[in-house]
Structure 1
Amino acid sequence: MFSEFAFSIFNNSIEKYHIKDDVYQIFENPYSKDQIEHLLYRKNWIDTVQWHYEDIIRNPEIDPQDALVLKRRIDVSNQDRTDLVEFIDGYFLNKYQSVDVTPTATINTESPAWAIDRLSILALKIYHMNEETHRSDASNEHKQKCQTKLNILLEQKKDLSLAIDQLLVDIENGNKYMKVYKQMKMYNDEELNPILRGK
């Protein structure tokens, strides 16, 4: 199923990142650009780096200037993440463009790629919560609490994966149809953000 395929790509990305565990390391995509794997791997890498940006910026002793630079990096990362989701949806739009949609077909609350986006974040939550259950410097109580949370995350993965796979089957069979709306984020646009426009 596509969800398990995607989750394995996400895990490859997460494990590769954590070899160096450095937000400034050079990104290398092991998949060719004509493969969906390329988009999935890149998507999760962005999520993984941003996960660690978010950790760093919460350091109460961070230099304010460094925090501002990091905030700008997070802004760029958010835009890159949105762009990748739209590219992944483009893949699905192309894949299912010839499907005959049934007269009773309905639209889903979110596109396949935005559900896959949530699966990518969930892969990160599972990876890091699992780490917490094995921390040598943590108390047994902490590890037990984290194991309980990990069990919930794993159940959430099961449910989300099933929902993604069902959605794709429904689209393939014409029982649901896709519409993709560009995010049209306004705060990065010099014509739409009044602060940027005023400069």
Structure 2
Amino acid sequence: MISQLCNKIFQDVINDYHVHNNIDQPIENPYAIGTLAHLLYMKCWIDTAQWHMEDVIRNPEIDPVVALQWKRRIDASNQERTDVVEYIDSYFLEEYKNITPAANAKINSESPAWVIDRLSILALKIYHMNEETLRTDASEEHKISCTTKLNILLSQRTDLSSSLDELIADIESGAKYMKVYKQMKMYNDPSMNPVLYNNK
């Protein structure tokens, strides 16, 4: 099942990252370039580093100049994240290029890679929510509340994992087909963002 591979790799990435717990720690991807596993590891590493960037920028005492630097770094990370999602979809398009969709085949509202994106973020939410349940400096009420939220997140991951596996099975059988739309983000493009092209 594709979801089992995703969830295992995402957990490994989060554990690997927290060995050093450093946003600038270089990625050491253990999987061969060109494999789905390599892309999944890269995807979750970007998400994990960005999760911690988002924590930093929410410090109410942060210097505004420093905050802007972090904001631009988060923007660059978001673009990298989107790029990797599209690489993952390209992998699936190549994998299933010889599948002939059924005459009544339907398209899914989300591509496989965007479901995988949600699974990666869920893995981070689960990891950090679990940490909250274990805090020795937090109230019992806080830990009980976080345990309730953790159980919801775990249930959500089970449901989303099943949905991903069903989507892949439907694509493999021809019951559904893939049609990927590039994100075409405009705000990072100096030829499309008026603030950028008017300042030339």
Query: TM-score range, shorter-chain basis?
Result: over 0.9
What's the C-alpha RMSD, in Å, of the aligned pairs?
Answer: 0.6
Q: Which residue of 1 aligns with 2:82?
A: 82
Q: Which residue of 2 aligns with 1:2?
A: 2
Give runs of aligned pairs for residues 1-199 of structure 1, distance below 5 A: 1-199=1-199
**Normalized against structure 2, the TM-score is what?**
0.98
Which segment drifts farther, 120-129 or 24-33?
Answer: 24-33
Distance 1:87 1:108 in 2: 18
Distance 2:128 2:66 in 1: 25
Flag structure 2 segments of 5+ consecutive residues without an equivalent.
Answer: none
Distance 1:164 1:194 in 2: 38
Identity of aligned residues (%): 62
Which segment drifts farther, 17-26 or 167-176?
Answer: 17-26
Q: Deviations over 1:114-133 (max 9, x none)?
A: 00000000000000001111
Give the residue type in structure 2 aligned to 1:42.
M
Distance 1:18 1:183 in 2: 30
Which segment drifts farther, 25-34 or 153-162?
Answer: 25-34
Question: What secondary structure, in the 3-state scheme, does the structure 2 residue paired with 1:191 have?
Answer: coil
Give the residue type in structure 1 aligned to 2:157.
K
Question: How far is 1:56 from its partner?
Answer: 0.4
Distance 1:178 1:26 in 2: 34
Distance 2:27 2:100 in 1: 40
Q: Deviations over 1:89-138 (max 9, x none)?
A: 00100111011110000000010000000000000000000111111111
Question: How far is 1:34 from its partner?
Answer: 2.3
In the comparison of the two structures, how many residue pairs are matched? 199
Q: Deviations over 1:126-163 (max 9, x none)?
A: 00001111111111111110000000000000100000
Give the residue type in structure 1 aligned to 2:38.
H
Distance 1:80 1:9 in 2: 19
Distance 1:20 1:63 in 2: 25
Distance 2:177 2:63 in 1: 49
Give the residue type in structure 1 aligned to 2:119.
L
Flag structure 1 segments of 5+ consecutive residues without an equivalent.
Answer: none
**Normalized against structure 1, the TM-score is what?**
0.99
Question: How far is 1:26 from its partner?
Answer: 1.6
Give the residue type in structure 2 aligned to 1:26.
P
Distance 2:101 2:25 in 1: 45
Distance 2:177 2:35 in 1: 23
Q: Deviations over 1:20-68 (max 9, x none)?
A: 1111112221111021111000000000011001000000000111101
Distance 1:68 1:34 in 2: 35
